[in-house]
Structure 1
Amino acid sequence: MRRLGKTRRTKRLTRRRTWGAAAAACGAALALLTAVPAQANGYPQGAPHWALKDTAAPSVRFRGLSAVDRHTAWVAGTAGTVLRTTDGGASWRNVSPPGAADLQFRDVEAFDARRAVVLAIGEGEASRVYRTEDGGATWTESFRNTDARAFYDCLTFFDHRHGLAMSDPVDGKFRILSTSDGGRSWRVLPDRGMPAALDGEAGFAASGQCLVSAGSRDVWLATGGAARARVLHSADRGLTWTAADTPVPAGDPARGVFALAFRDRAHGLAVGGDYRAGQPSPLSAATTGDAGRAWRPAAAPPPAYRSGVTWLPHSRTAALAVGPTGTDLTTDAGRTWRTLDTGSYDTVDCAPDRGCWAAGEQGRVARLEK
């Protein structure tokens, strides 16, 4: 690891009306986004923009983020901090697990306002998983890594029960942890179906998006640090994997693919670059249309390193990417990007109801508003 400082049953008519309204609203917001020129720290009246929410945690860097909806979001970060809002960011509740102040949380996956799983990163026993079922009032430590060679970076869930976490290579292969009971218990999967790691290859615990899933069985893993930046794909919940090279530059421990986002099992985005301040990050984004078998460079990528990426809900072409130097928008499925904001964010996530959130250093959390 590079040491960087959903299923419902409804009546058919109700579903059509809900998704139709959400799609129409998303289309209207996208039209405003694309029509408004980018500005550094100000926005014309009525334009969608990041609205900062006061977390009262200026010393915390939030790299873990899970958007439940426009009202509810969870963030996780340094000093063992976990915060939750249920009123759109107007107020935040510190729901950090007790005794976790020495841990570095880098990923959080929330199922709703009450249930969430958080991942702490680090060598050996510093890598842990906690789970809550009561909004963070109490937590259960459901996994503690006892192998000094393992270093867990990210986790993802296919549904409310099945999920995976990934570690940097152990004995020459990435290690995968699996749960089938919502994170209550975990087991290490056999590595027979995992390709050998390249020399120096690892994941980046930068945004909780180095391991992502789409649908009930497909999952992707992003890498860097080696001669080539790769994306590994599994179509059977982590039992067997295939690896594909990406055009994102690597060849250095600070370079590679940092984040992935898939809007379905075929169409995905990759962003990354060189996380060191002031270092150039050419070809910092790539796209795939075949589940990650082949990756194409963006014709006009973001201008700098980006650590987080997400598709806009109910859109086949629009997505946001974030990093320490700004936020970028694509409206052509990742082929071209343009900068919308120059604020610093490490991670970004959108909920089905168009609730889009971003989080980063100095306690920064924002919601996309207009």
Structure 2
Amino acid sequence: MCAALLVGALAAPAQAAGGAQDLRGAGWKLKATGAEARFRGLAAVSRSTAWVSGSKGTVLRTVDGGRSWSDVSPPAAVTDGLELRDIEAFDARRAVALSIGEGEDSRIFRTEDGGATWSETFRNGDARAFYDCLTFFDPRHGLAVSDPVDGRFRMLATEDGGRSWRVLPAEGMPAALPGEAGFAASGQCLVSAGPRDVWLATGGGAAGRVLHSSDRGLTWRVADSTVPGGDPAKGVFGLAFREGGARAAGLAVGGDYRTGEASPRAAAVSSDAGATWRAAATPPAAYRSGVTWLPYLRSVALAVGPTGTDVTLDAGRTWRPLDAGSFDTVACGRDGACWAAGEKGRVGRLEPGVG
């Protein structure tokens, strides 16, 4: 119902006025968190429940639609000042959070009681590894990805909901390009859809690439995305896929994250599970770090970045500005409620009649 109300609010003014600048009727309703952390991790469970994670080891949780927030930060992450750049939640009580960084700064924490207590279930012991993102196929099976080690991206897997992790064999992973890495900007450099399909976004190399696995990370194929690379600050920062399978519809967003730098061709679309990509005919005008499909709507998606939010009503072919506020990541719950999070404790929920 939330998604249907939103698309009605978006589409009617656009059809009547014919211009992106005339999109009215929907926007982000900010939810005061009382925090100053930058939230790049977001788990949108539902309209009532969401988790955010970010700088200084901070994790917040709401179960009342953002009217109030509980500080449920893992004490060890706070003490060590970790950057919790990704969080995946299964419901209001169970969540898994990833901290990034070289060596032992890359860790994984798990809670089963709404963040009242946390267990550290993984600590990286390899100084060459730097973990960026994690994703779950279901409440038991998940993956986390590190920047290349010995020339290949490293995959970490769990089969028990994040209680334990193991490094997957590297033989099925294509060789990384010189300088290629993942961007820990929105928790969306590694995303999954369906029971076995997973995608990895890259940048920093000669091209922004997308890798796809249909067997939970054991073997991979790779494709250029059309999002430009060629610089450590450029590439694909966020991915969204609507479903698994060979015809899965995908979106890629990115660009150049440096303030004031141009980001041409900052979005791309795929209709074959990432095997091929084509540039958006009208991409967002600036770098975007996060992207999500709206549930139950085949052609509607949102992309966010420091300079604003864009919406597509035609499955990523064209994008229109929706909001000028700064966000780093965006996600929608199974009930269609969409949330966004970013710098200085900013969190919003998308609502009809706000814009």
TM-score (norm 1): 0.91
Aligned pair in 2 of structure 1 residues 43, 235: CA closer, same or farther (>3 Å)? closer
- Contact 1:314–1:352, Cα closer than 8 Å, also in 2: no
The number of equivalent residue pairs is 343
Quote the residue 2:166 is aligned against. 187
Listed as ranges, the gaps of 5+ residues in structure 1 are: 1-21
Quote the residue 2:156 is aligned against. 177
Aligned partner of 2:299 among 309, 317, 325: 317
Distance in 1 (alpha carbons) for counterparts of 2:3 and 2:262: 33
- 1:337 paired to 2:316: no
State the one-letter code of the partner of 1:342: A
Q: 1:230-256 CA deviation, whole Å, 9 max, x = no partner?
A: 000000000000010111011000000
- Contact 1:39–1:341, Cα closer than 8 Å, also in 2: no
Distance in 2 (alpha carbons) for counterparts of 1:269 and 1:114: 30
- 1:284 paired to 2:266: yes
Distance in 2 (alpha carbons) for counterparts of 1:134 and 1:293: 40
Distance in 2 (alpha carbons) for counterparts of 1:34 and 1:326: 19
- 1:350 paired to 2:332: yes
Aligned pair in 2 of structure 1 residues 207, 201: CA closer, same or farther (>3 Å)? same
**Does the residue aligned with 1:246 lie in a helix, a strand or coil?**
strand
- Contact 1:248–1:284, Cα closer than 8 Å, also in 2: yes
- 1:236 paired to 2:215: yes
State the one-letter code of the partner of 1:295: W
Distance in 2 (alpha carbons) for counterparts of 1:32 and 1:238: 39
Distance in 2 (alpha carbons) for counterparts of 1:79 and 1:54: 19
Distance in 2 (alpha carbons) for counterparts of 1:126 and 1:327: 31
Aligned partner of 1:145 among 102, 124, 149: 124
Distance in 2 (alpha carbons) for counterparts of 1:213 and 1:99: 28
Quote the residue 2:351 is aligned against. 369
- 1:56 paired to 2:34: yes
Question: Residue 33 of structure 1: CA displacement?
Answer: 1.4
- 1:119 paired to 2:101: no
- Aligned ranges for residues 1-370 of structure 1 at < 5 Å? 22=1, 26-36=3-13, 47-58=25-36, 60-101=37-78, 102-265=81-244, 266-370=248-352
| Identity value in percent | 70
Distance in 2 (alpha carbons) for counterparts of 1:135 and 1:339: 35
- Contact 2:340–2:347, Cα closer than 8 Å, also in 1: yes
TM-score (norm 2): 0.95
State the one-letter code of the partner of 2:66: G
Distance in 2 (alpha carbons) for counterparts of 1:26 and 1:211: 25
**Does the residue aligned with 1:100 lie in a helix, a strand or coil?**
helix
Q: 1:189-233 CA deviation, whole Å, 9 max, x = no partner?
A: 000000000000000000000000010000000000001110000
**Does the residue aligned with 2:325 lie in a helix, a strand or coil?**
coil
State the one-letter code of the partner of 1:350: C
Question: Residue 174 of structure 1: CA displacement?
Answer: 0.1
State the one-letter code of the partner of 2:319: W
Question: Residue 39 of structure 1: CA displacement?
Answer: 9.1
Aligned pair in 2 of structure 1 residues 369, 143: CA closer, same or farther (>3 Å)? same
Q: 1:16-58 CA deviation, whole Å, 9 max, x = no partner?
A: xxxxxx4xx5333202112346899x996xx221000000002
RMSD across aligned positions (CA): 1.4
- Contact 1:43–1:49, Cα closer than 8 Å, also in 2: no
State the one-letter code of the partner of 2:54: G
Distance in 2 (alpha carbons) for counterparts of 1:220 and 1:55: 32
Distance in 1 (alpha carbons) for counterparts of 2:132 and 2:350: 27
